[in-house]
């Protein structure tokens, strides 16, 4: 190549990778899912507490344990979604795999619930409705997981570009803190 050919490329702007919309959408799905878990946990606990308040045999430990576990799951999904939207996540692989695994778990619970409802003679609408809700949740988690996987390469390129633009690393922050302590 001659120097004349290289000068043709000098005028082209350098395009930085953009934040992948697939990852952002997956993040929003995780935030909605986490929020719904948190909301349903609180509503379920309130209903359980109100309906069993007068029962002397009522053991509140089960309700509290259920609430704590549900709040933890909801908070984790909310946090993962927030990290994915803001670009704070190191990678999307772990979040994607986790989402797909939980999708499979929800699918299994949904199938068992529908089968139980049908085994009761089909007259028990509760388990069938629960199974359908679980199927919708499962599908949402599967879609979010696959979307985040599809946007992973672009996310990693965007993340690398962001690090190049903002070279603050953990080491640099530690050096800054050490310098402040000396002053």
In a domain, 8, yes or no: no
Q: How many domains does the chain have?
A: 1
Residue length, the chain? 183
In a domain, 13, yes or no: no
Residue 11 lies in a domain: no
Domain holding 103, by residue range, is 18-182
Q: What is the pLDDT of residue 118?
A: 85
Close Cβ partners of 46 (under 8 Å, ≥ 6 residues apart): none
Label residue 146 exposed, middle or buried (CB < 10 Å: 0-12, 13-18, 19+): middle
pLDDT at 12: 64
Nearest CA to 19 out of 177, 180, 160 is that of: 160
* pLDDT recorded at residue 71: 92
The C-alpha atoms of residue 32 and residue 29 are separated, in whole angstroms, by: 5
| 2 part of a folded domain | no
pLDDT at res. 79: 96
Q: Around Cβ 42, how many Cβ atoms within 10 Å?
A: 14
User: Which residue stretches of the chain have pLDDT < 50?
Assistant: 1, 172, 175
pLDDT score at 147: 97
DSSP 179: H
Distance of CA 160 to CAs 17, 26, 87, 90, 145, Å? 9, 20, 11, 10, 22
Q: What are the tens digits of pLDDT across the range 101-137?
A: 999 999 999 899 888 888 887 667 788 888 888 899 9
Give the SS3 label for residue 19. Answer: coil
């Amino acid at each position: 190549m001659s120097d004349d050919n290289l000068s043709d490329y000098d005028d082209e702007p350098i395009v930085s990778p953009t934040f992948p919309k697939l990852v952002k959408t997956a993040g929003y799905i995780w935030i909605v899912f986490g929020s719904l878990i948190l909301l349903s946990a609180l509503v379920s606990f309130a209903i359980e507490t109100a309906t069993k308040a007068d029962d002397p045999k009522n053991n509140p430990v089960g309700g509290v344990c259920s609430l704590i576990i549900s709040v933890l799951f909801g908070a984790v999904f909310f946090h993962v979604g927030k990290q994915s939207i803001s670009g704070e996540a190191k990678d999307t692989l772990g979040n994607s795999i986790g989402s797909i695994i939980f999708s499979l778990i929800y699918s299994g619970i949904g199938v068992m619930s529908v089968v139980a409802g049908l085994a009761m003679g089909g007259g028990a609408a509760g388990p069938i409705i629960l199974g359908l809700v679980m199927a919708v949740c499962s599908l949402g988690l599967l879609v979010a997981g696959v979307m985040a996987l599809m946007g992973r390469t672009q996310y990693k390129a965007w993340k690398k570009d962001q690090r190049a633009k903002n070279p603050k690393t953990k080491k640099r922050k530690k050096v800054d803190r050490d310098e402040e302590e000396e002053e």
